[in-house]
Chains A and B, each alone.
Chain A
Amino acid sequence: MAADSHSLTATEYIVHHLGHWQTEKQKSIIDFSVVNIDTVFFSIACLVLGLLLLRAAAKRATSGVPGRFQAFVEMMVEMVEEQSRSIVHGDRRFIAPLALTVFVWIALMNAIDLIPVDLFPKIASWIGWYAAGVPEHDVYLRPLPTADLNGTLGMALGVLILMLWYGIKIKGVGGFVHELFCAPFGSHPAFWLFNFLLNLIEYAAKTVSLGMRLFGNMFAGELIFFLIALMGGALALNATGLSMAALHVIAGTVWLLFHILIVLLQAFIFMMLTLVYIGQAHEGH
């Protein structure tokens, strides 16, 4: 696995794979002066790829008999349109396209998890070594943006902003504030504080759970791919080594197939929850 002289221990291998390519090494848990370059790069790449594919279909869209690609894109559009229509009652000119973007984007980002875990870090290490002379153990790259809490929470934060925006837009500032203090327990002044706290908790819980759900699923999936890759790393010309390699093939295949489901399911869940949360902002208590 490692190009340099000493071979990595399992812990070192996994820790190395969990490290981000950052503008500088992050010291504390929260530090807003640091950026994860790999997350930004791969999420923008996925977004651009997804938008280009959709744009290609949109440009050639005709009302005649659609080709396979157009039919596929139209199927997604129709699914999103159907869901958004049934969940959000109001102006959907921005919400429906947003849901489509979220679905396609997250599905593509999640799909990076299906690429062998060592491929992108290895390429990065070669570039790092031959272009800048950086040794492999100092080159960090995590290509899966949805296994980065920043990536998923960033999107969930976007959904929170939209929830607040539509809440105020539909109910007006007064109505929105009134609802903050008077729902769900009632408008008696004694309940105002409880109502407000509960609403704050609700918004926070929605946002955090939305981001955490996707992050948790993809992080766990990625970690299991690391562990499976470790078995292949134990390949040696003895019974244990060979059986570990065989197990890598079997477990890797099984997990890969199962993960295809998770990739799409999590993208779908994120899209649906985005719609549900924004839809709730449209309805009064």
Chain B
Amino acid sequence: MSINATLFIQLIVFFIGAYVTMKFIWPPLIAALEERQKKIADGLAAAERGRADLAAAEKRAQDADREAKARVQELIAQGEKRATALVEEAKDAARTEAERIMAAARAEVEQEVQRARQQLRDQVAALAVAGAERILKREVDPRAHAQMLADLKQEL
């Protein structure tokens, strides 16, 4: 418990130690610590940004989904409308066609009737001539009486 020159040696050693730490030990350690701190802060910021991006992307996806669904609805409605229109069109066409066919048939029938009537007229005329021949027992000159026969045919 006595004081001697060790005191001053210890004092010098004290400052040398502090100086060495200041020059060679403290700066790299603090630099590493600060750099890591920055890295972690950046990482956290990036994570936050990522989370925000994800939320935005999810929202975009939802919007796109909703839009697509609306579009699908629209398309279905359009399709249905178009289908109905097509059916209507087909019905109209069928009706027209049917009417045309019916008209044609009717015309044909009419023609047939006309033709039959014509034949009938011819036959009746022939019959009438034959009957008249028989009644008159003499030859009728068809050529002389052609005008008369034609008039008769017209009256039938």
Contacts and interface: CB of A to CB of B under 8 A. Distances in A.
Interface of A: 22, 26, 28-36, 39-40, 43-44, 47, 50-51, 54-55, 57-59, 61-64, 66, 73-74, 77-78, 81, 93-94, 96-98, 100-102, 105, 145, 148-151, 153-155, 157-158, 161
Contacts of B7: 32, 150, 153-154, 157
B17 interface: yes
Chain B CB within 10 Å — which of A31, A96, A154 has the most?
Answer: A154
B47 to A, nearest CB: 17
A238 B111 CA distance: 157
B154 interface: no
Nearest to A93: B22
Contacts of A26: 2, 4
Interface string B1-26: 11111111111011111101110111
Contact of A77 (B1, B10, B18, B29): B29
A30 B11 contact: no
B22 A94 contact: yes
B35 to A, nearest CB: 4
B17 A77 contact: no
Contacts of B144: none
Contacts of B9: 35, 40, 154
B59 interface: no
B3 A153 contact: yes
B142 interface: no
B21 A51 contact: yes
Contact of B15 (A50, A73, A145, A158): A158
Interface string B100-114: 000000000000000
A44 B9 CA distance: 10
Interface of B: 1-11, 13-18, 20-22, 24-33, 35-36, 38-39
Is chain A's binding surface mostly helix, strand, loop or mixed? helix
A47 to B, nearest CB: 5
A63 B21 contact: no
B32 A97 contact: no
List the 6 closest pairs (A to B, CB-CB), nearest first: A154-B10, A63-B35, A150-B6, A61-B32, A98-B18, A97-B22
Chain A CB within 10 Å — which of B16, B36, B39 has the most?
Answer: B36
A58 B6 CA distance: 30
21 contacts: A22-B4, A30-B3, A39-B10, A51-B21, A54-B29, A58-B25, A58-B26, A58-B28, A61-B28, A61-B29, A61-B32, A63-B33, A74-B29, A94-B22, A97-B25, A97-B26, A100-B25, A153-B10, A154-B11, A155-B14, A161-B11
B44 to A, nearest CB: 15
Given A30-B3, A58-B24, A40 B32 contact: no
Nearest to B31: A61
